Structure 1
Amino acid sequence: MTLAAFCLAYAGFSALCLAMDRHYEDLFDRALPRRHRVPLRVFGWTALALSLWASAAVWGWSYGTVEWIGILSIAGMLLIWFLTFRPRAALTAGGLCALAAPVLAVL
């Protein structure tokens, strides 16, 4: 479940990153359509909330919150690194994490 929480956090950060004009333009070489902004933000915040829930489900709310903050830190730093050196890989990894999180949650 910890891996699912990490994948959800990374996917959420990736979606929130894509909801920003600058990062969307860097990846797709065009302006962010207005109709994409809100769904990306909703998915991003929902994924982060589900990541917190997954951490709390395993460790309880007191320790799970601390673990979640660590997971957020690692996922954020990894996304920053990917965006700096491999922006397309950041998008691919975010999509793969979004697909892998439900599978990892079941395991």
Structure 2
Amino acid sequence: MTPTILLLNLSLCFAALTALCLSLNRHHTEVFQSKPSARRILLLRVLGWTGIGLSLTVAGVAEGWNFGPVQWIGTLTGAAVALVLLLSYRPRLIGQACGATIALAVAVSAMLQFA
């Protein structure tokens, strides 16, 4: 996997897992000090699962469907470890970290588009 594809995939996985994490009452309350509405929970879950599917598609198209899903599992695991560590030690930074990874994913996609 090229470093740019790896960075794109890692940022997509982190953002998707963060959305799924924040769809849980406990984590949402810990990060934002308020309970999420039913509409927000649904939106976060849809965004999370869409991001995971998109990251699998990126890995499969970039590396081929024989090896891409294997590397996708690795990036998904790395993003999950980063999210768990951040949630354990600095939960208030989750929103900012998610925003940064989304911006990174958009920048890397634009870079790949024009390369």
Shorter-chain TM-score tier = over 0.9
What is the CA distance between 1:103 and its match in structure 2?
1.8
Contact 1:12 1:45 in 2 (8 A): yes
Q: Name stretches of at least 5 consecutive residues in structure 2 with no aligned partner.
A: none
Work out whether 1:39 is the aligned partner of 2:43: yes
Summarize deviations over 1:29-76 as a string: whole Å, max 9, x none: 121111101110011011111111111121111110000000010000
Structure-1 separation of matches of 2:21 and 2:102: 14
Q: Match of 1:98?
A: 102
Deviating 4+ runs (over 2 angstroms): none
Contact 1:83 1:90 in 2 (8 A): yes
Letter in 2 for 1:17: C
Q: Name stretches of at least 5 consecutive residues in structure 1 with no aligned partner.
A: none
The within-5 A match list for 1:12-91 is 12-91=16-95
What is the CA distance between 1:102 and its match in structure 2?
2.3
What is the CA distance between 1:94 and its match in structure 2?
1.1
Structure-1 separation of matches of 2:63 and 2:110: 16
Q: Bigger radius of gyration, 1 or 2? A: 2
Q: Which has the higher contact order (CA 8 A, sep 6+)?
A: 1
Percent identical among aligned pairs is 35
Structure-2 separation of matches of 1:15 and 1:94: 8
Structure-1 separation of matches of 2:102 and 2:44: 12
Structure-2 separation of matches of 1:7 and 1:94: 8
93-102 vs 19-28, greater mean Cα deviation: 93-102
5-14 vs 53-62, greater mean Cα deviation: 53-62
Q: Alpha carbon RMSD of aligned pairs, Å?
A: 1.0
The number of residues matched between the two structures is 107
What is the CA distance between 1:2 and its match in structure 2?
1.6
TM superposition score normalised by structure 1 = 0.94
